[in-house]
Structure 1
Amino acid sequence: MGNSKKYDYLIIGAGLFGAVFAYEATKKGKKCLVIDKREHIGGNVYTENTDGINVHKYGAHIFHTNNKELWDYVNQFVEFNRYTNSPIANYKGEIYNLPFNMNTFNKLWGVITPQEAKEKIEQQRNAAGIADPENLEEQAISLVGTDIYEKLIKGYTEKQWGRAATDLPSFIIKRLPVRFTYDNNYFNDKYQGIPIGGYTAIIEKMLENVEVRLNIDFFQHRAELEQLGEKLVFTGMIDEFFNYQYGVLEYRSLVFEHEYLDKANFQGNAVVNYTDRETPYTRIIEHKHFEFGNQEKTIITKEYPTEWKKGDEPYYPVNNNKNNELYKKYKELADKEKNIIFGGRLATYKYYDMHQVIAAALKKVEEEFK
């Protein structure tokens, strides 16, 4: 019997999961076709070079992991720089360091020692008297007190989710990073950096021996596309794959406003979060600072969270109980599909970091080719 299908794997989505899978399967002699509905590869980690500045088109992406194997894995494609994520918060013109650390506490209260900072937070916690947090607001105050909550959490979180903090479930911030050191490094991970030359370079390397077709919407040509591959690797929205038969999973969406400025330095930092409720965007990214750029001009991106509706770009899942229960039903359907591999953030309805997506893709490859 001849193989009737043209490809071993049809991979839907040229983001990290799809690209890693395609790269590994191709190395094992499999024939892959990768399709994507966008006009470029890379999914949400896509970076576009504009006048020497690598612009993160879909929000800031900073690679970080404690796993040396994963770090070595991405470094085989491109060299990473020494960028350390140290965002700052702008609350009505007051500047604070993130994550909450001794620099933050010193600016807020004038305290100098860790002991003084702990006492201050403890005082505020006790004053609030919340024994059993019922919502995000109460959870946050019971963790870090009222000042940090009011200035650095409340407005940002309400913009991010489009709801009052008292209407959000407490589990969204089960823990908040609080450090009693003067350390502005946002992540605790050992390995951290940005690929020199941007993320697109990594995906290009992964896909250089793979057939890729862009501007193709799987759902518009589903019947004919499904005939092409022995197996399918699907990285889109799982509810859409099953025609929303149990209902629609909820996401938050984002709108990005890119501006090209005729100045060398706009804000002095790659990421500035705007934590008051009145500023409509959550943060401004200044891309050149990810790669220590010294270009004469700069490019900034304002990020506006929006309510997602069908047809919008989904960015992060609303993992509340209702949606998680709904996802379980779709997962049961997915598990019955013998020739379809579901992977990535949208197909597994999880908020993954980049290293987690890569790890998940490598694990799937291992299962597939064992």
Structure 2
Amino acid sequence: MKKYDYLIVGSGLYGSIVAHELTAKGKLCIVIDKRSHIGGNIYTEKMKDITVHKYGAHIFHTNNKVVWDYLNSFAEFNRYTNSPLANYKGELYNLPFNMNTFYRMWGVKTPTEALEKIESQKRESGIGVPSNLEEQAISLVGKDIYEKLIKGYTEKQWGKKAVDLPAFIIRRLPVRFTFDNNYFDDRYQGIPIGGYTPIIEKMLSGSEVVLDTDYFSDKEYLDSLADTVVYTGEIDRYFDYCYGALEYRSLRFETTVLENQSNFQGNAVVNYTDSETPYTRIIEHKHFEFGRQPVTVITKEYPLTFQLGDEPYYPVNNDENNALYEKYSELSRQQINVYFGGRLAEYKYYNMDQVIEHALCLVTLLELKK
């Protein structure tokens, strides 16, 4: 007889929700993670009494009231609104692209003037149907904004020329002809007071948790512990890259405590959009919770080319990679008592609310199959 009902590989948001819901239904779960902490990429930790987002900014936003209420059952959320800035060689612009951005760029004061400027630059560029990211961006916001605020940032982020990137990456770029700096237009938005780690701790309180454990270091033994496996890691690694490796982008985070400074940049997130600056953004963590500590903590975020063994952060969802993923997905559907879920296992860039929706759907599926 197996010792556990479920082995859950990965203690990020997806795996933790599945573990919480299953233990609430009386199932025995063991959760393993190769990192030394729970929470995956939403892990937060205290530094100088400031909640630090160790793996980049995670601002929760959703239009799904069920998801919002679900997460609020684990923590109280503040009223933080994501209003990042763009820094182009010392010039500051509001994001998302809105009337404040257009006024700063061109001096236009009305939506009609802004739209006329964008349409003029689009016509000058001779773009019909956009065939790549560069053409798509110019169609949306004009050449000036593309050159200053999109091109350098995007090429750093993806490690490719904008003309070699597909148009769909930027198709949903927020563009507003109002003086509104709120990046998201979702009904619900905020940061959990005290960070995300306490949420994950509550979710995993009924499970056995084993850290510093790579699933593939002793897969046969770990599989023997439970009747069913829920796997949240890279899907290509699970199948030993039998069809080849999927492409990701990785990140490096450089976090610094500024002991003699209480406010470094006056905003939680500032993107650096020129091509010369090696990092894509600086996060000042205290501003997520309106902190007034006498010191501050900043994190510079550097995009990296992914190599096997690195931490994968962003799937590169071009046609080639998506076709490769479908081959792995077909293999996953042939597995018995093994279920795949989350960003890495599904090779999709999910927002947190989508992760929650998918995790709850998996729990429903598992219950139906028992």
AA matched with 2:359: A
TM-score, length of structure 2 as denominator length: 0.98
Alignment match of 2:193 (pick from 193, 196, 201): 196
CA contact (8 A) 2:118 2:139 kept: no
Q: Please tell me whether residue 289 in structure 1 is matched to residue 279 in structure 2.
A: no
Distance 1:221 1:175 in 2: 42
**What percentage of residue pairs aligned between the two structures are identical?**
68
TM-score, L = length of structure 1:
0.98
1:264–1:295: 8 Å Cα contact kept in structure 2? Answer: yes
Answer whether contact 1:15 1:43 (CA < 8 A) is retained: yes
Displacement, 1:176?
2.1
Question: What letter matches 2:62 in structure 1?
Answer: T
- Indicate the SS of the match to 2:180: coil
* Contact kept? 1:288, 1:299, Cα under 8 Å: yes
How many Å separate the matches in 2 of 1:54 and 1:154? 32
Look up the equivalent residue of 1:128 and give its one-letter code: S
Deviations 1:157-184 (CA, angstroms, capped at 9, x unpaired): 0000111112222222123211011000
- The residue number in structure 1 matching 2:322 is 324
Q: For 1:35, which of 20, 32, 36 is the aligned residue? A: 32
* Residue 367 of structure 1: how far off its partner (Å): 1.3
Equivalent of 2:267, from 266, 269, 274? Answer: 269
Paired residues, number: 367
Measured after TM superposition, the shift of residue 60 of structure 1 is: 0.4
Question: 3-state DSSP class of the match of 1:347?
Answer: helix
Shift of 1:145: 1.1
1:298 match: 296
Return the alpha-carbon distance in structure 2 between the equivalents of residues 152 and 290 of structure 1: 23
1:173-322 aligned at under 5 Å gives the runs 173-262=170-259, 263-322=261-320
> Which whole-Å CA distance do the structure 1 matches of 2:46 and 2:308 have between them?
30
2:114 corresponds in structure 1 to: 117
SS of 1:341's equivalent? strand
Deviation track 1:293-341 (CA, whole Å, cap 9, x = no partner) reads 0000000000000000100000010000000000000000001112011
| 1:244-265, Cα deviation, whole Å (9 max, x unpaired) | 1000001000000001102100
Structure 2 unaligned residues grouped into runs of 5+:
none
Superposed displacement of residue 133, structure 1:
2.3
CA contact (8 A) 2:14 2:359 kept: yes
Matched position secondary structure for 2:233: coil
Encode CA deviations 1:164-217: one digit per residue, 9 max, x unaligned.
112222222123211011000000100000000000011001011111000000
Q: Structure 1: which 5+ runs fail to align?
A: none
RMSD between aligned alpha carbons?
0.7
Assess if the C-alpha contact under 8 Å between 1:143 and 1:175 holds in 2. no
Structure-2 residue corresponding to 1:345: 343
Pairwise CA distance, 1:279: 0.5
- Aligned to 2:93, the other structure's residue is in SS state strand
Q: Partners in 1 of 2:21 and 2:332 — Cα distance?
A: 23
Q: Contact 1:8 / 1:231 at 8 angstroms: preserved in 2?
A: yes
After superposition, what is the alpha-carbon deviation per residue over 1:103-125, rounded to whole angstroms, capped at 9, x for unaligned?
Answer: 00010111111111111111111
- CA distance, structure 2, for counterparts of residue 116 and residue 265 of structure 1: 36
Runs of 4+ with deviation above 6 angstroms: none
**CA separation in 1, counterparts of 2:161 and 2:181?**
28
* Corresponding position of 1:46: 43
What is the CA distance between 1:231 and its match in structure 2?
0.1
Q: Which residue of 1 aligns with 2:360?
A: 362
CA contact (8 A) 2:233 2:345 kept: yes
Q: Distance in 2 between matches of 1:320 and 1:260?
A: 38
Note if contact 2:152-2:273 (Cα within 8 Å) is conserved in structure 1: yes
Question: Partners of 1:61 and 1:190 in 2: how far apart?
Answer: 17
Q: Distance in 1 between matches of 2:42 and 2:63?
A: 20
